[in-house]
Amino acid sequence: MAASISGYTFSSVCYHSANSNSDHEGFLLGEVRQEETISISDTQISSAELLQVVEVHNHEPCAQLFSFYNYAGLVNEENLNKILKERRKNVIGWYRFRRNTQQQMSFREQIIHKQLTQLLGVPDLVFLLFSFISTANNSTHALEYVLFRPSRRYNQRVTLSIPNLGNTSQQEYKVSSVPNTSLNYAKVIKEHGAEFFDKDGVMKDIRTIFQVYSALQDKVQAVCGEVEQSERVKEKVQQEVNKLKQQIALRKQKNAEEERRILEAQNPEPLPTPEENTEPPETSLLSLVAFNTPSTPERPGPSANPPAYADLLSLQDNSLLPSSSSPTSAALLPRPQAVGSPGHPSPNPMGLGLGLSVGSSPAPSPSTPYLGNGDGSSSDSLDRQAAGQEDEDEDEDEDSSEYENLVSEVAQLPPVTINVLAQGRPASLSPDGDASARGSQT
Partner 1 sequence: MAVSAVHLESDAFLVCMNHALSTEKEEVMGLCIGEVDTNRIVHIHSVIILRRSDKRKDRVEISPEQLSSAATEAERLAEMTGRPMRVVGWYHSHPHITVWPSHVDVRTQAMYQMMDQGFVGLIFSCFIEDKNTKTGRVLYTCFQSVQAQKGSEYERIEIPIHVVPHEAIEMYERIEIPIHVVPHEAIGKVCLESAVELPRILCQEEQDTYRKIHSLTHLDPITKIHNGSVFTKNLCSQMSAVSGPLLQWLEDRLEQNKQSIIELQLEKERLTQELATM
**423 counts as binding partner 1 under rule CB under 8 A:** no
Q: What residues from 147 to 176 belong to the interface with partner 1 (CB under 8 A)?
A: 147, 157-160, 162-170, 172-176
Measured distance CA(355)–CA(363) in Å, rounded: 9
* Residue number, 33 or 219, with CB nearest to partner 1: 219
Residues binding partner 1: number (CB under 8 A): 134
* Residue type, position 278, single letter: T
Site for partner 1 in 233-272 (CB under 8 A): 233-235, 237-238, 240-248, 251-252, 255
Residue 150 or 431 having the CB closest to partner 1: 431
Nearer to partner 1, 412 or 428 (CB): 428
Subset of 276-295 contacting partner 1 (CB under 8 A): 293-294
CB of 237 to partner 1, least distance (A): 4
Among 70, 77, 261, 301, binds partner 1 (CB under 8 A): 301
Q: Among residue numbers 109 through 148, which ones bind partner 1 (CB under 8 A)?
A: 135, 137-147
Give ∠ CA 239-388-288 in degrees, rounded to 5: 50
Contacts 24+ apart (CB under 8 A), 423-431: 423/327, 423/331, 423/332, 425/332, 425/334, 425/335, 427/332, 428/142, 429/133, 429/135, 429/140, 429/142, 429/330, 429/332, 430/330, 430/332, 431/140, 431/325, 431/330
In the complex with partner 1, the residue whose CB is nearer, 47 or 242, is 242
Query: CB 333 → partner 1: shortest distance, Å?
Result: 14
Selected from 34, 43, 44, 221, the binder of partner 1 by CB under 8 A is: 221
Strands (E), 10-104: 24-39, 47-61, 91-99
Q: Which helix (H) or strand (E) holds 418?
A: helix 415-424
User: Shortest distance, CB of residue 439 to partner 1, whole angstroms?
Assistant: 6
Closest contact distance (angstroms) between CB of 111 and partner 1 is 23
Q: Give the contact letters, 174-203, x = binds to partner 1 (CB under 8 A), - = no.
A: xxxxx-x-----x--xx--xx-xx----xx
Cα torsion at 177, 179, 183, 188 (round to 10°)? -30
DSSP class of 11 = H
Task: Give least dist CB 327 to partner 1, A.
Answer: 13
Q: Which of residues 46-85 bind partner 1 (CB under 8 A)?
A: 57-58, 60-61
| Interacting residue with partner 1 among 30, 73, 93, 306 (CB under 8 A) | 306
Name the residue nearer to partner 1 (CB basis): 10 or 73: 10
Helix (H/G/I), strand (E/B), else coil: 175:
coil
DSSP assignment string, 381-395: HHHHHHTT-TT-TTS
Largest CA distance in the chain: 120
CA distance 330 to 406: 22
Interacting positions 320-349 with partner 1 (CB under 8 A): 320, 322-323, 325, 329-330
Strand 24-39, strand 91-99: pairing: antiparallel
Residue 268 CB, nearest approach to partner 1 (Å): 29
Judged by beta carbon, residue 43 or residue 184, the one nearer partner 1 is 184
Rounded to whole angstroms, the Cα distance separating 275 from 12 reads 52
Range 360-399, binding partner 1 (CB under 8 A): 372, 374-377
DSSP state of 331: P
